[in-house]
Structure 1
Amino acid sequence: MLAPVPRPPGSLAVRCSRALLAPRARLSLLVLLLLTAAALVVLYEPQRLLASGWPPRTSGAGAVLLFALAYGVCTAAFVPRPVLNLAAGALFGSAAGLTGAVAGTVLGAGISFTLGRYLGQDALRPLLRGRLLTAADGQLSRHGFRSMLAIRLFPGVPFAAANYCAAVSRMKYAPFLLATGIGTVPNTAAYVVAGAQAGSPGSPAFLFSAGFIVLSGLGAAVVAWRKRHGLRSPAAAPVPVPARGDTPEPELVAGAR
């Protein structure tokens, strides 16, 4: 009878580490983190702290930087960006508020993209089946900057959903962050100006920002409708090749020319 082969030391630790680093385990960790973040937002409502409980001793560039850091963390935790943008305008005015809001937007998008890329991509990419999902993944993977810029210009596209969809695709960091920083400026500026001019809702600046929000929403709806039809357009059907010895049909021969 053969003696059992002794296992090398550390094999249990290696198996445990492989199990913890498996795609499904990392995806489970991502889901747990997102659920925890959503629960904390519901319980503590950090957007109220940014809007009304801002530390009074902070001012100037340091206050804007601190706000941007808090904005990024809150955005990654699913705090609605319009509320944060209004708070940025009410706290710092139009110029400084826009700077802090855009910086926080890019930071929050980067956090979400990193979590989705390293914790969810390996487990979710094999599930990308179907014509619409495959077409959307191809657009984000091959035309990352252009596709993400269009998505950021759509006020109706959920910010967090766009982050994680981009992370599951093969988009690179640089085009993702650059398109986010550029594409979110118009809509973010409209909300920041509205927050800065909230005390005078009849002012031209407030009316212009509100009108821009409405018009950009309508424009995004039109572009989204056209894009939807583009994704659903059937691909060119392959021409069937007759087997050797078979006589091809006249219609097939004419279609192959």
Structure 2
Amino acid sequence: MPDPAAPSSGPAERCTRALLSPWSRLGLLVVLLSAAVAVVLACRPERLLTEGWPERMSGGPAVVLFAAAYGLCTAAFVPRPVLNVAAGALFGGPAGTAAAVVGTVLGSAVSFGLGRLLGQEALRPLLRGRWLTAADRQLSLHGFRSMLVLRLLPGVPFAAANYCASVSRMGWLPFLLATTAGSIPTTAAYVVAGSHAAAPTSPAFLAAMAFLAVTGVAAAAVAWRRRPAKGAVAP
């Protein structure tokens, strides 16, 4: 029986609880991502491939600014290959790779943090079904290995993997370490390809494309070997 002397929650407290509820936070995440996508579409970052970097920006500040913009763009679902090629075309191999890798880690941290803070509590109860529960178990128990394979696969959507990982119980450290280690090879290959895009028959360009193809096949083979047998329960 409730204590009549206990103070009842007022309208402000009820409103605060409603605003902080899991579904309200998930709605905020959807709004933030929709706004970010709209801003990216309006800014059209793909123009960097045709128009280049503004002339007033050069050197170290340009690399830092590009890395920050790269991270925000990937959190808003801009494909990384486009940004990696742009990094190579704008800054060359070494500086472009550094900017792209920093932007990759930054974007993954932003996506993972947003998903963990605003979406995990609402979405975890919806992880039903054999495939979803198996994927969640794999990410939660073998986070580093699973994320490393996902990062090595060139065709896996980067932002989608970030937000899916945030719903699992994967820790921050294995997520960021696997993202960094797994993204460097393909990122560098795309950047090198972008820096030699004007000469598509050059050895550097052909080597970068060959590396991406071999890496994709190898990662797919690893993922295929790790798949649970039919009728078996994933560890």
Give TM-score, length-normalised by structure 1: 0.83
What SS does the aligned partner of 2:198 have?
coil
Q: 2: CA distance between counterparts of 1:75 and 1:89?
A: 17
Q: 1: CA distance between counterparts of 2:27 and 2:59?
A: 41
Contact kept? 2:52, 2:90, Cα under 8 Å = no
Gaps of 5+ in 1: 237-257
CA offset at residue 7 of structure 1?
A: 9.6
Q: How many residues align?
A: 231
With a CA cutoff of 8 Å and minimum separation of 6, indicate the structure with the bigger relative contact order: 2
> What letter is aligned with 1:17?
T
Deviations along 1:70-129, one digit per CA (max 9) or x if unpaired, are 100111111111010000001111001000000000000111001100110000001111
What does residue 157 of structure 2 align with? 158
What SS does the aligned partner of 1:230 have?
coil
Change (3 A) 1:107 1:51: farther
Asked if 1:98 corresponds to 2:110, the answer is no
Asked if 1:134 corresponds to 2:143, the answer is no
Q: 2: CA distance between counterparts of 1:74 and 1:51?
A: 18
Contact kept? 2:70, 2:83, Cα under 8 Å = yes
Contact kept? 1:51, 1:90, Cα under 8 Å = no
Contact kept? 2:200, 2:206, Cα under 8 Å = yes
What SS does the aligned partner of 1:234 have?
coil
Q: 1: CA distance between counterparts of 2:167 and 2:152?
A: 20
CA offset at residue 41 of structure 1?
A: 2.8
Aligned pairs (5 A) from 1:103-252: 103-227=102-226, 229-230=227-228, 232-235=230-233
CA offset at residue 146 of structure 1?
A: 1.5
What does residue 248 of structure 1 align with? none
Q: 2: CA distance between counterparts of 1:83 and 1:187?
A: 13
Aligned residues: percent identity? 64
Q: 2: CA distance between counterparts of 1:130 and 1:55?
A: 49
> What letter is aligned with 1:96?
A
> What letter is aligned with 1:134?
T
> What letter is aligned with 1:235?
V
Gaps of 5+ in 2: none
